[in-house]
Structure 1
Amino acid sequence: MSETTVLSLDEIPKKQDFGEKPTKRRESDNYQAEYVKNFVERWDELIDWEARADSEGRFFIDQLKELGKHKVLDVATGTGFHSVQLLNAGFNVTSADGNGQMLIKAFDNAKKYGHVLQSVHADWRWLNRDVDGRYDAVICLGNSFTHLFDEDDRRRCLAEFYSVLKHDGVLILDQRNYDNILDKGFSSKHKYYYCGDKVSAEPVHIDDGLARFEYAFSDGSKHHLNMFPLRKKYMRNLLLESGFQTVETFGDFQETFHDDEPDFFVHVVKKSYAKNPDEAE
């Protein structure tokens, strides 16, 4: 696959354009044309920062602290929610995103909370080209990994995440429960990730190669995202095949769950195998 140039701010489209056959748009690079200015400006209505903070609590903060991680690379910063949450908790955070419009919004949001965001405009597939140093942890949240349609892209990105981590680093990556959507149809508690009560987020098309979601706002405006429906087992295997040693999966931030219950899965992935302290030397 040839290298893709990350668009400058002037090149970011103002309106979404999926062409005449939107369900045929199944390319990893399409996210640039999806996160247009008008959609980015309304993204926080979908998230609802206060409601989301209440729903997920201290899950990510506690996970990182329990693992002794401090220097964090947020590779899917979006409008900055998790970067700001971690900065508020005292972590050293670098915020990266492939969409410049998102980074502008994240920078402005961080200022409201008294932070100057350390931001990097970066494509995951060439992450180590644009990001300096090594990190204790990489977080890839907000169902962002499902923007990658090509398996070679997924493997390349995981290799980049692996490389930017220190030898004992950890990757935290989440995804929708696409297994349930594909096998049983869509349902959502709207309790955890997309908490805005004036926005609906539902699939308008689903097959083994595409989950096309529609985001409808209270004023009647609509935006769409085309994503690849990653199955949980496939994602866990892909992480292990990429060199990571262990994968622990949570369902809606719970360690114990039935597969058809959670809206989202969170994978906590360790680069090195940590021996049980009770094991004999």
Structure 2
Amino acid sequence: MIVRTAQEFGDNPVEVRETGHYTEEYVPSFVEKWDSLIDWKKRSEGEGNFFIDLLRKWGVRSVLDVATGTGFHSIRLTAAGFETVSADGSADMLARAFANGTQRGGHVLRVVQADWRWLSRDVYGKFDAIVCLGNSFTHLFAERDRRKALAEFYAMLKHDGILVLDQRNYDAMLDDGYTSNHRHYYCGEDVVVEPEYVDAGLCRMRYHFSDDSTYYLNMYPLRKDYTRTLMSDAGFQRIETYGDFQHTYRGNQPDFFVHVAEKEYRTEGEGQFRGAYGRVSDY
């Protein structure tokens, strides 16, 4: 077995635009630094109970976290009482998530390595909610891969389930240049996060740590309305978008968008649906 010790992007890194390449980017040494990049305490303060309150509002019990990473949201959701399954495409990330679960509250995470494009092959059951957080969806470079992944998410939700998916505000980055207050996502103080290269088909992010180590991630810069269209095309019925966890925002201001998409099909004129646990939604 070959253990990857360094990222490999070849002679021309900005030409690396393949969905599967992310497994080569999350090398063990980068994974080890991921928690300091996030800064769990500051991230918890930045997002508050947004996701927990959102899922409770919808009467959610079971959650599939399809981009677990080092386990930040899986552990928070498990601690809040949700039945959580934690999936990720990186075995190194899953190992770190499992260790974090036991070390941060004594939680034994149910982890599974899975590629979103074949999610139903590797993960058993259906869920009240699927969460895909941490800008993870932008690892998919081909539109067919994005559509396939969303179809898998849709299929693995119960009939009235919801998908919660976030992304960077690439609209602002592409149109106005990069700015970030790092209040909500990448809060670590010992790392500088900034794009090294951006065009319509690639955002190459640079992560430079205080020990002088540097890592990169190549991601597809999803525009907000394009993402919403893909979700609608996959069958999701109603999509709400929050900017930095706020329902009202100016388009160029948020660092991140959070999309909340309903699976349940309601015929025209039903207007309002009240689900289990007092869930209310306007159509």
Aligned to 2:262: 270
Map 1:73-222 to 2 at 5 A: 73-112=64-103, 113-222=105-214
Q: Are residue 48 (structure 1) and residue 39 (structure 2) matched?
A: yes
CA contact (8 A) 1:27 1:149 kept: yes
Divergent runs of 4+, >4 A? none
**CA displacement at 1:197 relative to structure 2:** 1.1
- Residues 213 and 241 of structure 1: CA distance in aligned 2, closer, same or farther (over 3 Å): same
Match for residue 59 of structure 1?
A: 50
Superimposed CA distance per residue, residues 76-106 of structure 1 (whole angstroms, 9 cap, x where no aligned partner): 0000000000011011000000000000000
Say how many residue pairs are matched.
270
Counterpart for residue 16 of structure 1: 7
Once the two structures are TM-superposed, the CA of residue 198 in structure 1 deviates from its matched residue by: 1.2
Q: Of 228, 243, 251, which aligns to 1:251?
A: 243
Query: Residues of 1 paired with 2:121 and 2:51: CA distance?
Result: 27
RMSD: 1.3
Residue in 2 that maps onto 1:71:
62
C-alpha distance in 2 between matches for 1:12 and 1:153: 27
SS in 1 for 2:272: coil
- Describe the superposition over 1:114-163 as per-residue Cα deviations: whole angstroms up to 9, x where unpaired: 11010011010100000001000000000000000000000000000000
Task: Return the alpha-carbon distance in structure 2 between the equivalents of residues 162 and 207 of structure 1.
Answer: 30
| Residue 242 (structure 1) aligned with residue 234 (structure 2) | yes
Write the distance in 2 (CA, Å) between the matches of 1:55 and 1:212. 25
Residues 1:260 and 2:246 are matched in the alignment: no
Distance 1:166 1:116 in 2: 25
- The offset of 1:13, in angstroms, is 2.1
- Unpaired runs of 5+ residues, structure 2, are 275-280
TM-score, normalised relative to structure 1: 0.94
What is residue 26 of structure 2 aligned with on the other side? 35
- Matched residues in 1 for 2:49 and 2:170: separation? 25
